[in-house]
Copies of this chain bind each other. A is one copy, B any other.
Amino acid sequence: MTADPHSTAGPASRHGHDHAHCIADALTRADALCAERGARLTALRRQVLELVWNSHKPRGAYAILEDLSQREGKATAPLTVYRALEFLVEHGLVHRIESLNAYIGCAAPGAVHSGQFLVCETCGNAVEIDDPRIRAAIGTIAAEHGFQVSRPTVEVRGTCTDCQEKTP
């Protein structure tokens, strides 16, 4: 375990925000959304969702797998996690960050998802944005090319405000 100034493992650790609240919120929203859709948010899936929400950093499937194994006290197979993640992604509760092969909780499940992220290369945090201008620009150029969009992916790598301040 490396020291990490941006760790969000504990409560109230990032910008003083109460991350436990983030998690609780996410789970509540997920419960509601799944109930509404008749989707089964099983104990396992809920557990995986909670682990994804352990921080605001994208987490790899195998990192989640380790956590899960530890919690359950027994080894879990990769497939178990992948299946849960697949469900969560399908229902828009979790996004996959392609450029990191990692997963992150969705900030606004249920709403339109265009999957845009600002990913800090220093601290690893990823902030979900949903900018209508970007969405519009993508729509326009796709139309100009006669291209039918199914899934736009925008992942902007760079440095977040906090990390810029720390290394000026």
The residues of A with any CB-CB pair to B shorter than 8 Å are 98-99, 118, 120-121, 127, 129, 131, 133-134, 136-138, 140-142, 145-161, 164
Contact check, A131 vs B121: say whether CB atoms are below 8 A apart: no
**A137 partner residues in chain B, CB cutoff 8 A:** 131, 133-134, 136-137
Chain B residues with CB below 8 A from A99, complex form = 98, 153
Q: Please give, as numbers and ranges, the residues of chain B lying within 8 Å of A148 by CB-CB distance.
A: 158-159, 164
Copies of the chain in the assembly:
2
A92 to B136, CA, bound (A): 27
Is A147 within 8 A of B118, CB to CB?
yes
Residue of B nearest to A148 (CB): B159
- Nearest B residue (CB) for A127: B145
Once the chains bind, are B147 and A152 in contact (CB under 8 Å)? no
Chain B residue contacts of A147, Cβ below 8 A: 118, 120, 127, 156, 158-161
Query: How far is A160 from B129 in the complex, measured between Cα atoms in Å?
Result: 26
Query: In the complex, are the beta carbons of B155 and A153 less than 8 A apart?
Result: yes
Chain B residue with minimal CB distance to A161? B146
Given contacts A129-B141, A151-B158, 9 further A-B contacts (CB under 8 A): A127-B147, A129-B145, A131-B137, A146-B161, A146-B164, A148-B164, A151-B156, A152-B157, A153-B157
B140 near A133 with CB under 8 A, answer: yes
Across-interface contacts of A138 in B (CB, < 8 A) = 134, 154, 156
Expressed in whole angstroms, the minimum distance between the Cβ of A95 and any Cβ of chain B is 12
**Cα-based distance from A142 to B107 in the complex (angstroms):** 18
